[in-house]
Amino acid sequence: MVMRKPDQRRLTPDDWAGAALAAIAHGGVDAVAVEVIAGELGATKGSFYWHFKNRDALIEAALALWEERSTGAVIEHLEKEPDPAWRLRTVLEGGFQRGPTERAEIALLANPGHPVAVRAVRRVAERRITYLADQLEALGWRPQEARDRAVLLGYLYVGNMQLAHAAPNITRSDTRQRLVDLVFNTLIEGVKV
């Protein structure tokens, strides 16, 4: 058993959640094992129980961290810019560039594997689609047209992420920029009122 060094700082719930999220990225929700994560953190199971009631609570904290990093913080950053077209282009560029680096998201989308994960994935998808639809409405699309386009953008994001993960050599960065332009020009511009 690995013991915490006396000069090592105390672990926080966020430390545990971050380590659990890293485990999800490498092996899905099933990879969240308290003893393994404790060992990686140089902590004891007692430290874990100081912060969490059980493994499910740790999974919930990891998914909340994922949700905040991948959606909440992104939306907060985008909202600093008043132009909805800029926001949408920025979302597209980020989505097409990230691809296989979002390993936790790839694992969660492929197989949430836990009721808490299923709910988190659904919440994130709905929040993202609603946000995209709101931006499209701000550009002049009718509500149903905006929602339809937002759903298509969600499909493109997930499909691009899965393809970039499974076959990373399919596109180069210059190709990805052309794809962003194509998607933007096809689904976002050309408002019909």
In which domain, by residue range, is 152 found? Answer: 13-188
Residue 79 lies in a domain: yes
Residue 5 lies in a domain: no
Q: Compute CA 42 distance to the chain's CA centroid, rounded to the nearest angstrom.
A: 27
Q: pTM of the entire structure?
A: 0.87
Cβ-contact 128, 122 below 8 angstroms: no
Cβ-contact 141, 149 below 8 angstroms: yes
**DSSP result, 63-87:** HHHHHIIIIIHHHHHHTTS--HHHH
Q: Any idea of the CA torsion for 76, 82, 84, 87, to the nearest 10 degrees?
A: -40
Taking only the tens place, the pLDDT of each residue in 20-34 is 999 999 999 999 999
Residue 193 lies in a domain: no
95: domain CATH number is 1.10.357.10
Residue 3 lies in a domain: no
Of the ranges 2-11, 108-117, 183-192, the best mean pLDDT one = 108-117
* C-beta contacts of 129-136 below 8 A and 24+ residues apart: 129/153, 129/154, 131/75, 132/88, 132/91, 135/84, 135/87, 135/88, 136/84, 136/88, 136/188
Q: Which amino acid is at 113?
A: G
Q: What is the mean pLDDT of residues 97-101?
A: 65
Token digits of residue 7 = 């000069």
The residue written with tokens 């659904």 in the block is 122
Confidence of residue 1 (pLDDT cuts 50, 70, 90): very low
Domain count of the chain? 1
Residue 167 lies in a domain: yes
Token digits of residue 1 = 């058993």
Residue 111 lies in a domain: yes
Higher per-residue confidence, 101 vs 121: 121
Residue 1 lies in a domain: no
Cβ-contact 65, 127 below 8 angstroms: no
Confidence at residue 193, expressed as pLDDT on a 0 to 100 scale: 44
